[in-house]
Amino acid sequence: MGEPAPVRLYNTFTRTKETLVPATPGIVRMYSCGPTVYRYVHVGNLRTFMLPDLLSRTLEYLGYEIERVMNITDVGHLTDDTFDRGEDKMLVSARLEKKSPEEIAAFYTEAFMHDAASVNIRPAAHYPRASDYVPQMIELITKLIEKGHAYEVGGTIYYDIASFTAYGKLSRNTTDKLLAGARGEVDPRKRHPGDFTLWKAAGAHRLQVWPSPWGPGFPGWHIECSAMSMSLLGARFDIHTGGADNVFPHHEAEIAQSEGVTGHRVVSLWLHAGLLMLAGSRMAKSAGNFFRIRELEDQGFDPLAFRYLALQAKYRTKLNFSEDGLAGADRALRNLRERLQEWSAESSETAGDSDAAAAFEARFRSAIADDLDLPAAMALVSELTRSAIARPDKATLLRRWDRVLGLDLDRSVPDLELPAGAANLLEARERARDAKDFARADQLRDELAAAGVVVTDTPEGQRWKVQVGKQRDRTSRPGPAPTTP
């Protein structure tokens, strides 16, 4: 393979698509904000973690090498608000589950790895744990104090946002909005209500406490990512990803910290995954409206149907999640696998070499190189399946594209089991047809359809097919809990 192909990516910082220019030619260094491991991830989180996976698959496909880091937040502080209330979510979990913070973190880290693997998110090269980088965080905070970007009050260190003129640039937040972001009880010792915590003096009730030059305490959430990203990828790296909800305050703070210490731009491109919406609200653990991938699997969905669904939307737009949408994705995925199985039976040595195949390949590459336009890539998949090009060519292209899509298109499709009672209905319908009682036969066909079994009549008798995602009992699962904004 020759030169890597040019790739354009939407940079949240500049609000434009920019050409990726790796600091080291051909090698892309990428940092992604990972899970907080005091709870399970939901499919909204998985959509966010799919972005670095899709990005690295795309870049590899186009000829780049990737070095990817995703952190594990096992020091459980989410926002300044929770700080101010003295509440640490890791410790809340530890209390509720009667385990140590380390046991909680290990348990949910493993659950995260499992859930990510089930939607074909390939592992990063490094998964640093925040608790292993506290000395590096203390070093950064010390430098920020030296450079006049941070100040101490009673063992707690705040970042002085007024000292960093670019503060607010990533999120396009004005001073008013920054003020509005500082809700709840604000420490009156702060110079500006928007100043965020770098280090928090420990209260007596805490379990995770580290010594520091300012006394015992624990790090803020934002400093974790500055420390881990620069420790592992250096003071200049190419891509940083996260969810749209990380732009402010998390990434705004990270820029202020990392650039405050180094005095230069650290991250070239900031990429953010759009939120996953459920019934009009953001899918969120705190609001109680969320699904785990395991729950969807238990309902009979292929976890990769969720990946298929995610590929239908631009990674940075909001995506509405619904069970009907997921069921449609599940059927489409199954269909695609069935087609590939048929075409593979006719494979030939020269497959993929035709001009028509080359044209499809070129269009696929330009779609993914244009800010990961996966909806366009998926539209090409549909166009390819309907096209007149040779079936072995179709099979070769689909298999190759699946390196980016990650849908396991080569997986063989097992026949679905008949739902309970359907076999009796099918038998009864056969008898009704034999007796030429077509009204009864039609009625039974409707009953079977309602149970997710599609019946067609052929000269050889009736044929049936179970539809994925239709055979589930929709009344057995409680709906999402009411949400709060």
Closest to Zn ion by CB, 124 or 377: 124
Minimum CB separation of residue 71 from Zn ion in Å reads 6
Minimum CB separation of residue 95 from Zn ion in Å reads 25
Closest to Zn ion by CB, 225 or 432: 225
Scanning 29-37, 59-67, 128-136, 303-311 for contacts with Zn ion by CB under 5 A, the matching segment is 29-37
Closest to Zn ion by CB, 73 or 118: 73
H helices of 370-437, where? 374-386, 391-405, 422-434
Name the DSSP class of 244. Answer: G
Binding test (CB under 5 A) with Zn ion, winner from 7, 20, 33, 273: 33
The reply on whether position 253 binds Zn ion by CB under 5 A is no
- Distance, in Å, from the CA atom of 367 to the CA atom of 383, rounded to the nearest integer, reads 14
The reply on whether position 20 binds Zn ion by CB under 5 A is no
The reply on whether position 284 binds Zn ion by CB under 5 A is no
Minimum CB separation of residue 81 from Zn ion in Å reads 17
- Enumerate residues 6+ apart whose C-beta is below 8 A from 156: 187, 197, 199, 200, 201, 214, 217
Q: DSSP E strands: which ranges in 165-284?
A: 197-201, 217-219, 237-243, 267-273, 276-278, 281-282
Closest to Zn ion by CB, 223 or 451: 223
Scanning 160-168, 217-225, 371-379, 420-428 for contacts with Zn ion by CB under 5 A, the matching segment is 217-225
Residue 73, strand partner residues: 36
Number of residues assigned to the chain:
485
Residue 110 CB coordination number (10 Å): 11
Write the DSSP string, 19-75: E---SBTTEEEEEE---BTTS---HHHHHHHHHHHHHHHHHHHTT-EEEEEE-BB-S
Closest to Zn ion by CB, 225 or 278: 225
The reply on whether position 225 binds Zn ion by CB under 5 A is yes
Minimum CB separation of residue 267 from Zn ion in Å reads 11
The reply on whether position 59 binds Zn ion by CB under 5 A is no
The reply on whether position 329 binds Zn ion by CB under 5 A is no
- The candidate with the shortest Cα–Cα distance to 398, out of 384, 388, 387, is 384
Closest to Zn ion by CB, 225 or 333: 225
At 284, list the tokens. Answer: 């969120």
By the criterion CB under 5 A, which residues form the site for Zn ion? Answer: 33, 225
